[in-house]
Structure 1
Amino acid sequence: MYLFRFTLLCSLLLLSACKTTPTSSTPTQAKTPEPIVTANPDKTVSTQRRPSIDEQTEDVWQRIRSQLTFAPSAHESVQARVDWYLSHPNYMHVISERAAPFLLYVVEQVERRGLPIELALMPLIESDFDTTAYSHKHASGLWQLTPLIAKHYGVKITPWYDGRQDIVDATNAALDFLSYLHKRFDGNWYHAIAAYNTGEGRVSQAIKFNKQRGKSTHFFDLPLPKQTRHYVPKLLAAAQLLRKQQMEFPKIPNHTAIAVLPLEQGVILNTDKAWRKLQTLNPGYTRFPALLDGPDHIVVPALQAQQWQDYVAKLPAMPSDQWQHYTIKKGDSLSVIAQRHTLTVSQLKTFNQLKSNNIKIGDTLLLPILADKQMDYTVRAGDSLWRIAKHFNISVHEIKKWNALSKDVLQVGDTLKLYLSKT
């Protein structure tokens, strides 16, 4: 009996130690319940969840905080990243500004699938919530999808459009991929997230390596690349800071900021000033204001949804002053014409409603006018993106976007594609 009481007492003490200690909060934050967490690193998500407070909280960050389920970690790599965040107090201000249009959408998609809410923080780790981010490994967008993964999950990538930068398609693909990895690694989210960063093969090999040597297969014990060893801790540190409210996460209103509307056909905007915000919300279109060859939807500010629908309904039918006539000449083919105008044959056929590849000399095709001049520029000694942009009266951002550049470094002899306008 004494042994039973002693064992019961130890169990109660252990359970008490696993609970998170509520931190002090302001009166407005006191309504937010403390998240339930689990302490087992191999079972990173608790089976229990608190009732949703989606409609109660006014801040998306607090909506995330109320649903955090990953276990707090005292591992030195996590604490090192916590210290880094705390030493850069303006970092979350930049993140919140970039994330404001998109974070709620990401949160809603994660919730809809019943996935751990921590996954909504991954764009913070992947791209600092920069929709146009490129990496040296050719990954792109908020979720830093590689071309291979993106295309595997049905994301469209063409000379006119890169769906990895589209909030809808990229989020769907990223969450599909993470769900697959979670199943692939037997429900271990740390392993799945690590595999998202470095590839499932490397994580599988690391697990196998440790198993063969009788070592732990916890994430922190796996022999993984340095970048990946820091990747998961970055996510855990951000979640920890949010959970304990150790630094300010500037408020992002918990109400719809964007509307995803159907887009039945391509559009070339003729009022750039009125719809300039669309470039920020739809960065996948590489030749803005041409919204061509993209998905069957468009993202607009929620308050402009009706205005956009009215605008699209009144667009002039093709042709318009945004299209040019091209007369087919001897030796022409759809592939030759398409290549000359940076199109695909499929796009060219779509614009002209062609059902076959057969064309005749003297027939007329419609081609979009997106620039007064298209040119290939060869990088010379002394060139920089800034100098080239200034010379041609374009922006560095446009040059990088047109050429999928992740860095500002150029090599003599490189060829850059430029789209120039008279204005």
Structure 2
Amino acid sequence: MATPNKVHLTVDNTGIVQFKPQTAETAAKTSELLQENHEKHHIFFNKDGFHNHIVHHLLTLYGLGAPAEIIEQRYKENVNYQRDIIQSGARPDMSDPENFKQYLDNEKYYHEYLIFWQNEMEKKGWENVLNEYVFAGDERADGLLGRFYGGFLHPIIHLGFGIEFHQPAIIAEALAQACCHQNWTGEFLLAAEKDSKSRASTSSKTIPELLDEIRANKKLSTAAEWSDPNKIRDGVIARASDEMLKYTSEWHVTPENLEQKTAEMINSCIYYTAAAQNPPKQVKIDFYFMHCVNSSIFWPTFNAQPWLSTANKVRLLQWKGYLDLAMYASRRSPPLLVSEITDYAPAKPKEADWEGVFTRLFAFEDDGHAVKLGRAVRNGELVSKAWEGKGEEVERGMKVKGDMWGKIGNMAIDSVEDSGVHWARSVGFAEAWVEYGDRSKKSQL
């Protein structure tokens, strides 16, 4: 049985994207590896806040039906650079409210926060802990909720995996990870929420429409500079916050349109991530946009939770939409070239179906970003299909359709297998493409 201290996977729950069934042997091996990671490793593998992706990687592979030997091999490739969970120095008790507040934003105390969350969950249950500490709507909860959207969405990705696979120990890791992140992202999201309510806007625009308007706004679309340490915080928010808030205020989620807007969010972040190319440069996926996609897969799971109020489901999605819009602006709002998707020719046409894509992603050696992207794109296809033919308003919000899904899946694996660095970074800047060659000279995959 899975507990706040023990990872225990079963073949009865392999997540929301089905590919191949799992075996009891693989469930046991993956549980063992995740337990080792849980007990031994810090959530950041260095003091600069680079994230430990082992949980994301292994659960994605497990959910898609990868065999035990593949999962173990991917683990071995990434375990050697992880940090020990226990750091030297004083070890405060986070059950003291003053300590809990004082040590926020400091990765040094990840282990202490982890112990706190495990103890709270043992006493109250993980659902009650989340409702009390993250979704209560008070100052403390809003501060923690905001941190879940920090670090390019890593804490909420971690939380999503814990909820999707019913693993309280991983939910505890996510909570502890959130405590170690700064809250400037949450402050922006709260400001966007407040601004939207104050404007009382009646416009009902889709994310693709707002992306076009953001690109057309020169002050906002050029606010970020290549030299900015963080292009949302130091670019968009610092130089064009009013302009950014104008557009976030025009995307509205309500209890009545929650499911439609969930599909729109998922479809739209995949659309702008895939379409942001720079021909004739090699096809590459932006590393930052990719996180918007990889996190999007969890919103259907959040919506399905009976313990979470509808108001909080609406808020979770609203904030995700705000951040997706800001992320697009922060990379200098690159032109979105739909033809880059519709005209895409897979590098390996004999392996271009989802079985071929996932098989290649299983074998790809990275820290899990690529296979997470493939699974999230497939989820986007499954979610979006339910909304095809549902009317003009729905169509305006969903640009990806038909065979574009399979082409994006191939773009994902082809681009990381191609020569050069796996990901482009900040694709709206010319500097992001300097190291990539002409696509006509790309390697033969």
TM-score range, shorter chain: under 0.3
Higher-Rg structure is: 1
Higher helix share: 2
Q: How does the TM-score come out when normalised to structure 1?
A: 0.20
Higher strand share: 1
